[in-house]
Chain A
């Protein structure tokens, strides 16, 4: 089978990958591009742990075919902070202790960053609905919601 070379923008920098099969973007990020922040859990779009921004839209990278991102812009959790300076969502989670095992955290950072960019003062219901696609199997939702309620009150 012939390989497909894909060129795209990854966290603001030009990137490429060589794809031999109908792999997901998640596989390429983790296995080829050494960006393991996006997690692999359900592989069916139910858990949100692989959330990334694709051309400014929040999506599950496990449901994006790698061969379909030619020319697109991809931002992963690794692209959320400015160097070592956390973004507001990361800082809020850090301050609220909104992390238990940490597996869902990258997806929640990406989803919440998308929420706060569109809506800097979300209500609690809006926060919950925006995070409906991100599952925390430690069930640590209380601290996560509180972190974003605090952020909504201070932005």
Chain B
């Protein structure tokens, strides 16, 4: 058992290239360890690397905790951060860890999808930046290469004027999403991104197109928007909810978030 404690990102990248398992907040990896599903022998801790904790303007370092995003992030991302686990989880868990785990239920993902964020990846050979929809490739699967670490999330230079996050779960705190969503509206242009309703975070493009053509949506327009979202999502039935409920809830939640954006 060996744990590397680098203070520079370059050292961490070298350890990753040599096969070490990255450890950020530990809120996912240690659950695997505690339940006997993972037994890493070489670990690289990312906790002491100042570079990935930088949070400047539109660039959020991968090591920025949910607690900091809750306090300093853009509105809908801060709203999402507040629903991540508990104070204990938000102090430890990071946006980079959330991305690397790539759970379909990741609370941070819909905002990144809704604003077309980019993910910056690094390896000993250099850096590359890819759009969110090239990063997520399946349930807990990303397009990261074996020697890569996430260095940062890069938001667009200007964010939509209005953006709102919402989450449905069986209780108010410490809960994994049944459905979570972000709706943005800027002038008429609307985006809607959802989590927990497909293998990866997804955009409801037909619903976006329909409502973006309407300057002052009527109840009938909102109902059609809701119907299209419910129609476009691809949920499954599992231990947390059913396909039918998720489909219904995705539409209702997206409509409510749009209504908030329109106020």
User: Which A residues contact B (CB, under 8 angstroms)?
Assistant: 1-4, 19-24, 43-46, 48, 51, 57-60, 62-65, 67-68, 70-71, 111, 114, 129-130, 132-135
Q: Which residues of the partner chain B approach A20 to less than 8 Å between Cβ atoms?
A: 1
Q: Decide if A2 touches B34 in the complex (CB within 8 Å).
A: no
Is B5 engaged at the interface, CB distance under 8 Å to the other chain?
yes
New A-B pairs, 10, CB < 8 Å, besides A2-B1, A64-B26, A65-B45: A1-B1, A22-B38, A22-B43, A57-B91, A58-B87, A60-B27, A70-B3, A129-B87, A132-B86, A132-B172
Q: Decide if A4 touches B87 in the complex (CB within 8 Å).
A: no
A19 vs B2: C-alpha distance when bound (angstroms): 9
Task: Report which of A2, A4, A19, A58 forms a contact with B88, defined as CB distance below 8 A.
Answer: A58
Shortest Cβ distance from B92 into A: residue:
A59
User: Which B residues contact A (CB, under 8 angstroms)?
Assistant: 1-3, 5, 23, 25-27, 29-31, 33-35, 38-41, 43, 45, 47, 67, 85-89, 91-92, 172-174
Task: Report which of A22, A59, A133 forms a contact with B33, defined as CB distance below 8 A.
Answer: A22
Shortest Cβ distance from A21 into B: residue:
B1
Task: Report which of A1, A51, A70 forms a contact with B5, defined as CB distance below 8 A.
Answer: A70
Task: Report which of A1, A2, A46, A71 forms a contact with B174, defined as CB distance below 8 A.
Answer: A46
Task: Report which of B31, B34, B41, B45 forms a contact with A1, defined as CB distance below 8 A.
Answer: B41
- Least Cβ–Cβ distance between A33 and chain B, in angstroms: 18
Q: Decide if B88 touches A111 in the complex (CB within 8 Å).
A: yes
A63 vs B92: C-alpha distance when bound (angstroms): 9
Q: Which residues of the partner chain B approach A71 to less than 8 Å between Cβ atoms?
A: 5
A111 vs B87: C-alpha distance when bound (angstroms): 9
Shortest Cβ distance from A48 into B: residue:
B88
18 A-B pairs with CB atoms under 8 Å apart are A2-B1, A4-B1, A22-B43, A23-B33, A24-B33, A44-B35, A45-B31, A48-B86, A57-B67, A60-B27, A64-B26, A64-B92, A65-B23, A65-B29, A65-B33, A68-B45, A68-B47, A130-B87
Q: Which residues of the partner chain B approach A132 to less than 8 Å between Cβ atoms?
A: 86-87, 172-174
- Least Cβ–Cβ distance between B92 and chain A, in angstroms: 5
A15 vs B5: C-alpha distance when bound (angstroms): 18
- Least Cβ–Cβ distance between A13 and chain B, in angstroms: 21
Q: Decide if B31 touches A44 in the complex (CB within 8 Å).
A: yes
Of A22, A62, A132, A135, most buried by chain B (CB within 10 Å of CB) is A22
Q: Which residues of the partner chain A approach B174 to less than 8 Å between Cβ atoms?
A: 46, 132-133, 135
A20 vs B3: C-alpha distance when bound (angstroms): 11
Q: Which residues of the partner chain A approach B38 to less than 8 Å between Cβ atoms?
A: 22
A53 vs B31: C-alpha distance when bound (angstroms): 19
Q: Which residues of the partner chain B approach A43 to less than 8 Å between Cβ atoms?
A: 31, 34-35
Q: Decide if B3 touches A45 in the complex (CB within 8 Å).
A: no
Shortest Cβ distance from A22 into B: residue:
B33
Known: A2-B1, A68-B43. A62 touches B87 (CB 8 A): no
Q: Which residues of the partner chain B approach A62 to less than 8 Å between Cβ atoms?
A: 30, 34
Shortest Cβ distance from B67 into A: residue:
A57
Q: Decide if A63 touches B27 in the complex (CB within 8 Å).
A: yes
Q: Which residues of the partner chain B approach A68 to less than 8 Å between Cβ atoms?
A: 3, 5, 23, 26, 43, 45, 47
